[in-house]
Structure 1
Amino acid sequence: MGRRLITYRPSWSTRIGRGFVVMILAIAQSALASQSVPLEQHSGMPRAVIRVRESATVQGKEILLKDLAEITARSRPLVEALETLPVGQAPPPGLTRIFDPALIVIKLRQFRIDPADIRIESPRQVIVAGAHRIIESSRLFEVAKAAVLRGRDGDLEQITVRPDTLPTDLVVPPGEVDLRARPRPASACPEPCRRVDMGSIPVVVEAWVDGRLYRTVSLVVRLSLMREVVVANYPLPRHTVVKTTDVRLERRDIGSLTHEPLQDLTLAVGRRTTRMLAMGDIVISNAVELPPLIRKGDLVTVIVEAPGLRLTAKGIAQEGGAAGQVVRVKNTASGREILGKVESDQTIRVGP
């Protein structure tokens, strides 16, 4: 890329004034020469030279002249003033912008620095990049993983964590980076509910740079809790009494379940299903129940007991019930409806 010389063109009155100064300098030079006194070596040289580079990387929100150029000047105060001269807005970290060196003269005037006798050598344009560093998505995941596993020391050997969704690599400005992650609160689920916060968990990761929050990103991680649980071998329609051959134990991910799964075959065998179970379904606690010993309309024996008293009567069950459940039963003799506890397939006990 060719370089160009940016010159400051003074007004006609300024040029006349300069001509007068040149004439005075010529007279002074002649007088000094006759007295053998040399002129200063920098006489006739520019006050400062600004050599602008073709590209630059800047840090912060502003572009300073020292970011773009090499600066030499006759005096140190002038060098410092030129170096700290803001000439434009810096691009965000990781991005670039094109800077027009012609703006330097405008900025000199804006900050009351006389561009006269300042030589500017520059390319046609300057590519300015924002200084940055990259935080890879894998590191963001590791920070999120540590956050969701915090406080789960007892289950660490049985929990696996993998990313569901990952953000792209994070671009941040240079500096001391501190990543802070926090899981979002889990949504409520109806009781009885396994509040173990498994399955897909949204996590917020904050990137702090030099003690200030710079960027917040979101990702989702999936927690799998592996346990040996009861699984259906075949499709089981609703109200099927489970047999030994109907179920098996299998190691499965129970992280997404909202109710406790059965982990003992004896808790399923002999009970009946409360809903349809497909082949391979995990049998959870509310998917089976004790089968009713008494059905609605069954003729039963009602036993009434009190201290020093025991009576029996015939009754008709007004609703079905399993062992230990309290059901309504009507006395066939009196027509009175009472409550009793199912004791067997033909007996309902009333009283303590």
Structure 2
Amino acid sequence: MTMNKLLIVILAALCCAAVPAAALEVTFRPAAEICGDTITIGDLAELSDDSALASTLAAQPVGPAPDPGQSLLVDTRTIIDRLVRQNRSLLTVLWQGSASVTVTRRFVTVAAEEILGAIDDYLEQNRHRLPEATIRFIPAAPPLPIQLPIGTLSVQVVPSNPGILSSSRFSLIYSVDNRVWKNFSVLGRVEAIAPVVVAVKTLKYDDLITRDAVAVEPRDLSQFPHATDQPELVVGSIVKRTIPSGTPVDTSAIEQPPLVRKGELVKILVTHKRLTLTATGIARADGRKHEMIRVQNSASNKLIYCRVQAPGLVEVTL
């Protein structure tokens, strides 16, 4: 082989030896959309291959993600400097692309209708705890829509009153992937329309309620928690405080009339084991069914405590 040919072969070998393997290329995008809580290199850049180094580098965290629907500007030079300081072998990586990346977090919007729908669903699921009525939630104002991250969504609804019907607000706790993201309240009231006994005229103190004094009409039970839909529970009662015309009869504002009146002559039943005796006495107080009153025995003039059982009838159990 001539000297010239040998020189050409050596130069060719040297040239081949000087060509390094292709370097990993990391190309930063100008903008990126993400779903998770953390920003990674893979979110920000395109990597030129799928090598072990590329996979590891793509998974490297850069920082926390912005809130759903919000954006964050990431300086790529700062990221590169930090990574290279931590691992000098990354100097062989070809870093290129945008000097900064605008990162936006994807989101889902929960509209006002969906928020109110969650409250309606809660009321329906708890029908067994509520009276028989047409029930709905009336918000004081429409709730504002909320933005949540992408993921498995769940909502917990909590009334301000354990009895539900008297609640003035409902708290809603929205979670994504079992992590709480939003906790807020919606003001309003629960309307429960049902037939109840109402006064057709004003009923005054000590009036005896007759059948023609009441009627059954629909009213909001949330405004009248002590109303009843059974006229038989009201008719024959005595009014303890005024009930205006058109107002549901408040069962706490009425009472049954005494079965025994003070000064009335009554029959006394004395029961001892299987033996029953009778006597006559004078009631020394008004008494309703099952109330204990004092009665003066007509024969002995002694005062004894008796339980009222019926009109003109009291009982003593020995």
1:225-281: CA deviation from partner (whole Å, max 9, x where unpaired): 43211112344333222244543221112246544x332334323321123323433
Shift of 1:328: 1.8
Q: 1:79 to 1:327 in 2, by over 3 A?
A: closer
Instruction: Give the Cα separation in 2 of the matches to 1:157 and 1:263.
Output: 10
Distance 1:185 1:168, change over 3 A: closer
Change (3 A) 1:67 1:237: same
Q: Which residue of 1 aligns with 2:136?
A: 161
SS of corresponding position for 1:281 = coil
Is the Cα contact below 8 Å between 1:204 and 1:217 reproduced in 2?
A: yes
Partner SS for 2:68: coil
Q: Deviations over 1:92-137 (max 9, x none)?
A: 33322221222133133134144367353424x4321123323334
Counterpart AA for 2:117: E
CA contact (8 A) 1:105 1:115 kept: no
Amino acid at match of 1:53: R
Alpha-carbon spacing, 1:269–1:197, altered in 2? closer, same or farther (3 Å): same
Query: 1:207 aligns to what?
Result: 175
* Structure 1 residues 289 and 106: alpha-carbon distance in aligned structure 2, compared to 1, 3 A threshold: same
Instruction: Measure the CA separation in 2 of the matches of 1:203 and 1:142.
Output: 13
SS of aligned partner of 2:43: helix
* Alignment CA distance shift 1:93-1:161 (3 Å): same
Alignment of structure 1 residues 313-328 onto 2, 5 Å: 315=282, 317-322=283-288, 326-328=292-294
| Aligned match of 2:3 | none
Distance 1:110 1:274, change over 3 A: farther
> Within 5 A, what are the aligned runs for 1:98-109?
98-109=73-84
Q: Which of 195, 200, 206 matches 1:228?
A: 195
Q: Which residue does the alignment assign to 1:17?
A: none
Is 1:118 the counterpart of 2:94 in the alignment? yes
Identity of aligned residues (%): 22
> How far apart are the structure 1 equivalents of 2:200 and 2:265?
39
The 5 A counterparts of 1:146-295 are 146-150=121-125, 152=127, 158-162=133-137, 164=139, 168-175=144-151, 177-181=152-156, 183=158, 187=162, 197-200=164-167, 202=170, 204-209=172-177, 212-215=178-181, 217=183, 219=185, 222-255=189-222, 257-259=224-226, 261-292=227-258, 295=261
2:4 aligns to what?
none
TM-score calculated relative to the size of structure 1? 0.65
Letter of the 2:74 counterpart: F
Does the aligned pair in 2 maintain the 1:242–1:272 contact within 8 Å? yes
Contact 2:69 2:147 in 1 (8 A): yes
Superposed CA offset, 1:56-102 (max 9, x none): 112333322232233448x9556445544433332233322221222
Q: State the TM-score, normalizing by the size of structure 2.
A: 0.70
Secondary structure class of the residue paired with 1:230 = strand
Letter in 1 for 2:207: T
Give unmatched runs, 5+ long, in structure 2: 1-6
- Is 1:97 equivalent to 2:80 in the alignment? no
What is the root-mean-square deviation of aligned Cα atoms in Å?
4.4
State how far apart, in whole Å, the 2-side matches of 1:49 and 1:182 are: 50
Structure 2 residue 33 is matched with structure 1 residue 67: no
Deviation, 1:223, is 4.5
CA distance in 1, matches of 2:61, 2:289: 87
SS in 2 for 1:102: helix
Aligned to 1:330: 296
Report the CA distance shift for 1:160/1:310 in structure 2 as closer, same or farther (over 3 A).
closer
Report if aligned partners of 2:138, 2:191 keep a CA contact under 8 Å in 1: no
Residues 337-352 of structure 1 mapped to structure 2, 5 A cutoff = 337-340=303-306, 341=308, 344=311, 347=312, 349=314
Change over 3 Å in CA distance of 1:305–1:95 after alignment to 2: closer
* Cα separation, partners in 2 of 1:65 and 1:262, compared to 1, 3 Å: closer
